[in-house]
Amino acid sequence: MGLGMPRMGLGMPRMYIPITAQAGYSEPSFDAKVTKNRKLSDDYERIISQIRQLNGFSTFLQATPFTTLQTAAKEGPFILVNVDEYRSDALILRATGRPLLVPLAENLLAVIEKLSTQLAEVDQMNRNANRYGISTQAK
């Protein structure tokens, strides 16, 4: 199955014709693209502004001030975990003092993906067992 030709039922390929090759189509001018991009950007800013007018959304899509985050840790440390293929860290916020950055294992993303898949499989097995009346309680 090559790019541009996904297989359909009965082994028949579907043909795609690039839009630029279709009759009557011409590529928009640079000025038209810039104008469209500017309009989309203005629409985006207008919509974000409207959202920020809603109660409780005044800082929507803005960075949360550190002092606000520290307030969340007044009852105990608040831990944020960032997992990425390039780097994973835990950020520990306390009510006072500087945040603590804890580097996590390099392969954490792969471990999480594997465990997530296993959890989903167990969940599906339990759902199927419940559906068919099979007891899943340990003896």
Give the strand pairing for 78-82 and 100-103: unpaired
User: Facing residues of 81 across strands?
Assistant: 90
Percent of the chain predicted with pLDDT > 70:
76
Q: Which two tokens stand for residue 40?
A: 């989309």
pLDDT value of residue 19: 62
pLDDT value of residue 66: 83
User: Which residue, chain included where needed, has tokens 């640079």?
Assistant: 30
User: Which residue, chain included where needed, has tokens 């969340």?
Assistant: 72
Instruction: Give, for 89, the enclosing helix (H) or strand (E).
Output: strand 89-93
Residue 85 vs residues 20, 88, 106, 120, 133: alpha-carbon distances, Å: 36, 8, 8, 21, 41
- What sign has the CA pseudo-torsion 46, 51, 57, 62? negative
pLDDT value of residue 17: 61
pLDDT value of residue 68: 83
So where are the chain's domains? 28-62, 65-106, 107-139
User: ∠ CA 129-131-137 to the nearest 5 degrees?
Assistant: 35
What mean pLDDT comes out for the span 76-80?
A: 90
CA distance linking residue 75 with residue 55, whole number of Å: 26
User: Considering the entire predicted model, what is its pTM?
Assistant: 0.48
pLDDT, tens only, 80-98? 999 999 999 999 999 888 9
pLDDT, tens only, 3-15? 444 444 455 556 6
